[in-house]
Structure 1
Amino acid sequence: MSERLQPGDTAPAFTLPDADGNDVSLGDHKGRKVIVYFYPAAMTTGCTKQACDFTDNLDLLAGAGYDVIGVSPDKPEKLAQFREKENLRVTLVADPDKAVLTAYGAFGEKKLYGKTVTGVIRSTVIVDEDGKVEQALYNVRATGHVAKIIKDLGV
């Protein structure tokens, strides 16, 4: 089980392929704040709701200086289908070997319908302009989460 990140920690660097197979690195966003959110699977009900909420609020977040990157263990091809089907504008990246999910504490044991399972823990990490963790939120809900982030950030 990986350790959860804490405010002030250096956000783990990563380079992952996006839905088009292009590399996306956290370092590409230096100087801007980044909302990195981790979700279990493209094209599932909760993950679709969350991705659509981020897309609907992307202009607001970008205007406040935040970029948004969604990370899941899906392959780029599935992310491309997800993006097209739902008209998503957020950057979606693939982490099929779960290395980044693990580094961010977003993969491990969780409760699912009363059973303990190993999988993706729906999480959001807000990284500041210098690559430090500003907030690390774990076991978040898919619905209403984006509105809560916007409220908490004062955007």
Structure 2
Amino acid sequence: MLQINSIKNGIVIDHIKAGYGMKIFNYLKLNNVDYSVALIMNAQSGKLGKKDIIKIENKLEIDFAILGFIDPNITINIIKDEVIDKKVKLKLPKSIKNVIKCKNPRCITSVEKNLAQEFYLSDEELGEYRCNYCDEIYTDVDFSV
């Protein structure tokens, strides 16, 4: 049986869609830190079937909007003295900036390299984003930061 101890103070990123834990781990650059981090992949979940979990034994500034874009079903637990001090439920952000890139070769962002890559949430039910400049639908499931 796999056993990961509880953390005293830090963050637990829970209910991550199975397979997305590594994306978040890489986005947060957790491979370069000097404190304890646990990435648990494909853990059993009554709600999701399988899920990923990240436990971070440290305070960390996290952009919840980007995590909400990656997976809006994530729950963030802020741990203080080994108990949950605060629980944050994420959702799809209304807009995102410089997280994904427009793939339309005729978009102004393809020509103007210093222009911010901005997208707005066009369909919350589908999780669909469109470019602010050319209205191109973002279709890729990967992201670049």
TM-score range, shorter chain: 0.3 to 0.5
Q: Which structure's residues are more often strand, by fraction? A: 2
If you compute each CA radius of gyration, which structure gives the higher value, 1 or 2?
2
Compute the TM-score of the two structures, normalised by the length of structure 2. Answer: 0.35
Compute the TM-score of the two structures, normalised by the length of structure 1. Answer: 0.33
Q: Which structure's residues are more often helix, by fraction? A: 1
